[in-house]
Structure 1
Amino acid sequence: MFYRTHNCGELTKKDLGKKVVLSGWIKNIRNLGSLCFLDLRDFFGIIQLFFSKKFIIKNKQDHIELGKEFLIQVEGEVVKRKSKNKKIPTGEIEILVSKLEILNFSLSPPFLIEEKTDGDEETRMKYRYLDIRRNSIKNNLILRHNISLEIRNYLSNNGFLEIETPILINETPEGARSFVVPYRNHKGLFYSLHQSPQLFKQLLMIGGIDKYFQIVKCFRDEDARSDRQIEFTQIDCEMSFVDMNDVLNFFEKFIKHLFKKIKNIQLEPFRCIPYTKSIQCYGTNSPDLRFEMEFIELNDFFLKKGIFSFQKEKLTIGIKVPNFAHYTCDKINSILKGIKELKINEKEIFWIKFLPNKKFFSSQKELFNNENCKIILQYFKAVPGDLLFIIHGKRKETREKMSKIRLEMTKILNVKNTKIYKPIWIIDLPLLEWNEKSKKFKSFHHPFTSPVKEDLHFLDEEKKENIENIRANSYELIINGVEIGGGSIRIHNKKIQKSIFKHLGYSEKEIEYEFGFFNKALEYGAPPHGGIAFGLDRLLAILEGNENIKNFIAFPKNNSGRDLMINTPSTLKNEKLKELNLK
C-alpha cells in the first residue's frame, strides 16, 4: 500500500526488525537533546517514533516546525523500546525513522485532543471533526456501529424484515411539533419530517408483513436536552398476531442479548409493574431501581395514631434516606432549596434526623414531639443514621416533588452505580389525559394505542368521568431511571379507532382529512399487531454509563438545536424564499 504497510496500533514485539510504512497524525512531540520523539496516532492506535534532529524532513517549510496534528508518513524499522509503556499495545516497540514526509500541515488545535481534554462542549462541537479523533468519541462511534450490526443480525435471524418507510409525510396533529418542508412545485403545500414511522409500520402489518424493523432517523421540533435531540435514531419494530406478553418476552430477550454480546453483562429478569404503582411508589413512570427509598404513604397512619395535623391535606408521603442524618439542619435546608423547580415551602415539608446515638431531631418540634417521632421512626423501620423526609399537599404535585427529592439524595449519596443495570417494564399506562390548556383529552402516547380489553366499555359511556381511568395496552422499558423504549398493542378495529379520535375531539371531517387513508386500511382485514421503539442514542449512553447522548452521535446538535460546526439553522436568500413560494 502506498501510504502504509501497517496501522499504528497493530505492531508488537513479533514485528521487530520489520521495515514498515506508517501514516497518521502527530499526537505529541518530545525534543530530547539530539533526538526527537513523536507519538503517531491513527484510527487504530498510537506508536512512538524517534529520529535524529539532523534528520531531513521532506516537504518541511523552512519557517514551520513539526506540530501537533500534522499529518505525516514515515518509513522505518521496528525496534525495541527502551522505556516501555504498558498502557498501550505498542508500548514495547518503537519505529526508528529513516524517512519522514509531511502529508498535510495543521493549525494548532483549539483544545487538547486527549481523553482529559481542556475543551468545553461548545468548542468541541464547533470542531467536532477534531473531537472525533479523541478515543472516547471514536470508541463511542465504534460501539454504535457494533450494536447496530448486532441489532440487524438478531432481528433478521428472528424473522424481522428491515424495510424503509417515508420520511416526508403529512403533519400529524398528535405528538410533538413537526419540522415542515415547503414543496417548490405546489405553492402553499408542505411536507412534514416524520416523528416516527408509526402509521407506516402499522400499514406494513395490514399489508401482510409479519415482523418489521428499521434503524431510523426521526425528527421532533422540541427543546433539546442532554438526553434528547431534535433528530434522533430509533430501533423501530412491529409484529403481527401478538399480545403484550409476546412483545415483552421477545424484547426482554433482545435487550439481554445486546447487553451480553456488547458488554458481556448478564441482566437479571426484568421487573414489571403497572404505571399506577410506579407513580405511587416513586412519583414517576421512569423509576431508577438501583437504590431503595420507595414512598411511604402516611395518611391512614397519621389518622390511626391520632396525629391529626394532615387530615385536611390530600396526600402525605415520606421517604427514608440512609446515612444522611449527620448533615446539619442548614445543609439539609440548603439542599432542598437548591433542587430545581421544587418550589417547596416550610409548611409542606418536614424532616426527622435519627442520629447515631439514637437521639432524634425534628425540623418541626411543635408537630413532631418526642412521642410522635418515636412512632414515625418505628413505622419507617428507621435505623440510626437515617433521615426521614415527609411532604404533604396535592396528590400529583406531592409525588412529583418527593420524586425530585429522592433523586437529589441519590446524587449526593453517590449511589447511582453506572455498572449496575436495573431494567423494569412499566405497563398499563393511561390511554388519555386531560389537557387543561386546550380543555380536551389528548393521547398519553399516540391515538393508535389499544385500550386494555377490560376498559373498552368506558369508551361507550355517555359520561366521561371514567375516560381518564382507561388503561392503555402499552409498555415502557426503563433502565436506571431512563426510558429506553416504549410501545403498545395497536388498535386494529375501525370502530374503536374512530371512538378514540372522537374522544380526542376530532370532528368527522377532521378524522377523514387527517386519517381517512388509515381508517380505510383498517377495513381490509387488519391483523392484531403491536410493537415498540427503542432510542438507540439513549441505549448507547446507558451501556456506557454516560448521561449525555451527544457523545454517541457523530455530529449532534447543541441544547438549543444548533449545529455549531456548520452553523445551522441558517437564513435563506430571498431568491430561495421566492422559489419556495415563501416570499
Structure 2
Amino acid sequence: MRSDYCGALGTANIDETVTLCGWVDRRRDHGGVIFLDLRDRAGIVQVVFDPDTEEHFRRADSVRSEYVLRVTGRVRARTEATVNPAMATGQIEVLGKELEVLNSAATPPFQLDEYTNVGEDVRLQYRYMDLRRPEMQNRLILRARVTTAVRNFLDAEGFLDIETPILTRATPEGARDYLVPSRTHPGHFFALPQSPQLFKQLLMVSGFDRYYQIAKCFRDEDLRADRQPEFTQIDIEASFLEEADIMALCERMVRELFSTVLQVELGAFPSMAWSEAMERFGSDKPDLRIPLELVSVDDLMQQVDFKVFRGPADDPQGRVAALRVPGGAGISRKEIDDYTRFVSIYGARGLAWIKVNDLAAGVGGLQSPILKFMPEAVVAEMMQRLGASDGDIIFFGADRRAVVNEALGALRIKVGHDQGLVSDDWAPLWVVDFPMFEDDGKGGLTPLHHPFTAPACSPEELVANPAAALSRAYDMVLNGTELGGGSLRIHQRDMQEAVFRILGIEQVEAEEKFGFLLQALQYGAPPHGGLAFGLDRLVMLMTGAQSIRDVIAFPKTQTAHCVLTDAPGEVNEQQLRDLSIRLRQTRETPDSP
C-alpha cells in the first residue's frame, strides 16, 4: 500500500515517485496551493497539491486533521527560502499527484503535539490518540529499541529466553497478590506473579545456567509515579557466578544499552555500602548528581540541654543530622515553612535551621531560633565539622534514625532541585552490603529484599544474630532511581529453613507454601544469583519522562483504573456462579434524621 515511511524520506529520494500512508498532522491553504503535513511513526513530511491535479486537489481541500490518507507523488527539493531545519524532512517535499482518503476523523479531543496541556485522565481515556503524538511515539520506539538491545546482549552472552507461568501460587514477596479464582478447583485461587523469582531459581536447579525473560509482573499495591499494578522486568539469573561476576555483566549490559540507544557513555559505577549511603544521603538509592550530604552531629548534641536534639542524640535508635546548603541563606522564611511541611510528610515533627551570615563573627553572625539552646563551643565545632561558609543555611533533623534519614534524604533532593544544584551528568552507582533483615514494626523481622536472598554468613551465625546479618544483595542506582535489584540466592535447604524460622515461618507453613522449593534445594541446587531491572523505570530515565505511565502503551491511573476500557469492571451472576463466588453486599448506612 505504501513504498516509504513519511519521516524516512530525504534528499536521496529526490525525483523518486513514492506512495505514503499516514495521518494529516496539519493542513494549510496558501493562495490556491494546499500543503498537507503527513505523519506516520517515522515522522512528518510536507505534501503539496496544486490545482493541476483537479480531482485530487479538491480532495486535499476537503481533508482535515487526523484524516487517514494514501498519497502518491514525486519527491523534490524545497527552495532555499522554504527549507525547514526544524524538520528531519525539511529539505524536501512531495508534490502530490494522487490522494485517497482511507478514513475520515472526528475533531481530536486535544491537540496532538508536545504542547498539549490536557489532563492525564483525558489523555488516558483517548490513549490511542495520545499515542499518535510524536513525543509518545518516540518513547515507545525507544522502549522497543531497548528490549531489542537487551535481547541481543543476553543472547550473545549465552542466556536463554525462557517463559515462566503467569498463573501461579500466592507467595509472600512484600506486596499483595492479584488473585485469580479457579473454576475447576472451587474455593482455590491462582495468583499473578509479583516476579518470576521462584521459577527462575528452579530453572537453575534444572541446569539452565543462564536464563533471562522480559517478564510481566503484578503487584496489588498503592501506586506512585514510578509504580503500576502491572509492570515489566528484565529478569536475569545465572549459576556458578559470584556477586562481582553478575554485577560486572549487568553493568556492561547497561553501558552498551546507553551507548547503542542514546549514544551516551556512562562514567564509573562506584560501589557504596548500604550503611554509608544511609549515613551520607539518607537513602539506599542516592542521587549523586546533587552535591549535598547529611552529616551526623549526635555527639555534639549530647552536650546540649535542648531536649529536641538531646533526646534523639542519646537514643541508640535515634539520630541528629545536619544538611548544609551552600549559598542557601537567601531561602526565605516562607520557603523554610514550606520545607517544614514537606518533611512532615515523612514523619518529621519540625525542621530546625541556622543561617550563616558572618562566620567570622561567631554565634553573633548566625541566625536561628535554636542558637540560644547551644553553647558557643558546640556551635563553633559544628560549623567547622560541616565546613560552613558565609551565605549557607543548615537544616537539622532529630528523631528516630529512619525518620531522619527519610525526611532529610527527601529534603536533600528537593532543595537540590530548587536551588539548581543538580548536575547534567549521569550518575550510576552500585549499593551493596544490605542488611539481611529490617524491623517489621511489630517486634519481628522482615527481609529487606526477599526471603530467598543469601546471607553473607553461615546458618549458625545467622540464627545467633539475625539483626546484624548482611546479605549478598546489590542494587544498581542511576540518578537517584533504583534501576534493578538482585542478589545471590540461597541454594541450600538448611539455610533457607533458617531464614524462614527467623521470619516466623514454621516448618508446617514452610512446607505448605514453599515445599516445592525446599525439596528442589535437596537435589543438587547450584550456587546462583541474578538481578531484575525495571524496564519501565529504565525507559522513563532514558526518555526524560516524568512517570512510567508515559512509557507504557496502556497504563493504569494511580488508582489502578484503566480509563480507556473502564477496567476493573463488574461481571455477571453466571460468571460468579461458575467461579463459586458470592459477592458480599456493602451495607448502606441509613440517612440520619
Query: If the length of structure 2 is used for normalisation, what is the TM-score?
Result: 0.90
Q: Indicate whether 1:391 and 2:397 are aligned.
A: yes
Which one-letter code corresponds to 1:349 in the other structure?
Answer: A
Map of 1:30 onto structure 2:
28
Map of 2:354 onto structure 1:
351
Distance 2:369 2:422 in 1: 28
Distance 2:108 2:355 in 1: 54
1:452 Cα offset (Å): 0.5
Map of 1:85 onto structure 2:
84
Distance 1:452 1:131 in 2: 49
Q: Is the 8 A contact 2:356 2:389 kept in 1?
A: no
Q: Indicate whether 1:422 and 2:421 are aligned.
A: no
Query: Quick one: which of 364, 378, 385 aligns to 1:379?
Result: 385
Question: Residue 498 of structure 2 aligns to a residue in which SS?
Answer: helix
Q: Is the 8 A contact 2:127 2:564 kept in 1?
A: yes
Q: Is the 8 A contact 2:339 2:411 kept in 1?
A: no
Map of 1:21 onto structure 2:
19
Superimposed CA distance per residue, residues 212-247 of structure 1 (whole angstroms, 9 cap, x where no aligned partner)? 111111111112221111111111111111222222
Q: Indicate whether 1:566 and 2:565 are aligned.
A: yes
Map of 1:125 onto structure 2:
124
Distance 1:56 1:576 in 2: 59
1:388 Cα offset (Å): 1.0
1:172 Cα offset (Å): 0.6
Superimposed CA distance per residue, residues 245-292 of structure 1 (whole angstroms, 9 cap, x where no aligned partner)? 222222222222212222222222212122122111111111111122
Query: Quick one: which of 47, 50, 59 aligns to 1:49?
Result: 47
Query: Quick one: which of 290, 308, 320 aligns to 1:316?
Result: 320
Q: Is the 8 A contact 2:459 2:498 kept in 1?
A: no
Map of 1:526 onto structure 2:
525
Distance 2:242 2:400 in 1: 36
Distance 1:141 1:262 in 2: 13
Tell me: CA distance 1:98–1:220, structure 2 relative to 1, closer, same or farther (3 Å). same
1:96 Cα offset (Å): 2.5
Distance 1:164 1:470 in 2: 34
Superimposed CA distance per residue, residues 330-365 of structure 1 (whole angstroms, 9 cap, x where no aligned partner)? 33223322456045445x623233469984322324
Q: Indicate whether 1:459 and 2:469 are aligned.
A: no
1:369 Cα offset (Å): 7.2
Tell me: CA distance 1:20–1:155, structure 2 relative to 1, closer, same or farther (3 Å). closer
Map of 2:587 onto structure 1:
none
Distance 1:125 1:330 in 2: 37
1:91 Cα offset (Å): 1.3
Tell me: CA distance 1:170–1:116, structure 2 relative to 1, closer, same or farther (3 Å). same
Tell me: CA distance 1:372–1:509, structure 2 relative to 1, closer, same or farther (3 Å). closer
Distance 2:110 2:150 in 1: 35
Superimposed CA distance per residue, residues 173-194 of structure 1 (whole angstroms, 9 cap, x where no aligned partner)? 3321111111212211211111
Q: Indicate whether 1:434 and 2:439 are aligned.
A: yes
Pairing 1:253-264 to 2, within 5 Å after superposition: 253-264=252-263
Gap runs ≥5 in structure 2: 314-318, 583-593
Which one-letter code corresponds to 2:5 in the other structure?
Answer: N
Q: Is the 8 A contact 1:287 1:478 kept in 2?
A: yes
Tell me: CA distance 1:442–1:60, structure 2 relative to 1, closer, same or farther (3 Å). farther
Which one-letter code corresponds to 1:24 in the other structure?
Answer: G
1:76 Cα offset (Å): 2.5
Q: Once superposed, what is the RMSD of the aligned Cα atoms? A: 2.4
Map of 2:63 onto structure 1:
66
1:207 Cα offset (Å): 1.0
Distance 1:28 1:326 in 2: 48
Superimposed CA distance per residue, residues 38-86 of structure 1 (whole angstroms, 9 cap, x where no aligned partner)? 1111122211122246965569899x94210001122233333342211
Distance 2:15 2:246 in 1: 58
Distance 2:184 2:293 in 1: 59
Distance 2:250 2:338 in 1: 43
Gap runs ≥5 in structure 1: none
Q: Is the 8 A contact 1:435 1:442 kept in 2?
A: yes
Question: Residue 221 of structure 2 aligns to a residue in which SS?
Answer: coil
1:116 Cα offset (Å): 1.6
Distance 2:105 2:58 in 1: 13
Question: Residue 557 of structure 2 aligns to a residue in which SS?
Answer: coil
Superimposed CA distance per residue, residues 82-129 of structure 1 (whole angstroms, 9 cap, x where no aligned partner)? 422111122122222232221100011111111222322111111111
Question: Residue 169 of structure 1 aligns to a residue in which SS?
Answer: coil
Q: Is the 8 A contact 1:270 1:425 kept in 2?
A: yes
Q: Is the 8 A contact 1:352 1:363 kept in 2?
A: no
Which one-letter code corresponds to 1:157 in the other structure?
Answer: A
Question: Residue 539 of structure 1 aligns to a residue in which SS?
Answer: helix
Which one-letter code corresponds to 2:460 in the other structure?
Answer: H
Pairing 1:14-413 to 2, within 5 Å after superposition: 14-52=12-50, 56-57=54-55, 65-82=62-79, 83-303=82-302, 307-309=304-306, 310-314=309-313, 315-339=319-343, 341-346=345-350, 349-354=352-357, 359-368=365-374, 373-413=379-419
Distance 1:489 1:18 in 2: 58
Map of 2:536 onto structure 1:
537
Which one-letter code corresponds to 1:31 in the other structure?
Answer: D
* Residues 157-166 or 364-373, more deviating: 364-373
Q: Is the 8 A contact 2:346 2:403 kept in 1?
A: no
Which one-letter code corresponds to 1:363 in the other structure?
Answer: P
Q: Is the 8 A contact 1:484 1:539 kept in 2?
A: yes
Tell me: CA distance 1:326–1:268, structure 2 relative to 1, closer, same or farther (3 Å). same
* Residues 386-395 or 522-531, more deviating: 386-395
Distance 1:144 1:325 in 2: 43
Q: Is the 8 A contact 1:451 1:471 kept in 2?
A: yes
Distance 1:57 1:384 in 2: 76
Query: Quick one: which of 426, 447, 450 aligns to 2:454?
Result: 450
Map of 1:493 onto structure 2:
492
Distance 2:455 2:320 in 1: 31
Identity across the alignment (%) = 35
Map of 2:590 onto structure 1:
none
Which one-letter code corresponds to 2:75 in the other structure?
Answer: V
Distance 1:460 1:90 in 2: 67
Which one-letter code corresponds to 1:49 in the other structure?
Answer: V
1:19 Cα offset (Å): 2.9
* Residues 172-181 or 44-53, more deviating: 44-53
Question: Residue 88 of structure 2 aligns to a residue in which SS?
Answer: coil
Q: Is the 8 A contact 1:440 1:504 kept in 2?
A: yes
Distance 1:128 1:57 in 2: 35
Distance 1:239 1:15 in 2: 48
Which one-letter code corresponds to 2:6 in the other structure?
Answer: C
Which one-letter code corresponds to 2:182 in the other structure?
Answer: Y
1:440 Cα offset (Å): 3.3
1:519 Cα offset (Å): 0.8
Superimposed CA distance per residue, residues 518-566 of structure 1 (whole angstroms, 9 cap, x where no aligned partner)? 1111111111111111111111112223331111111111111111111
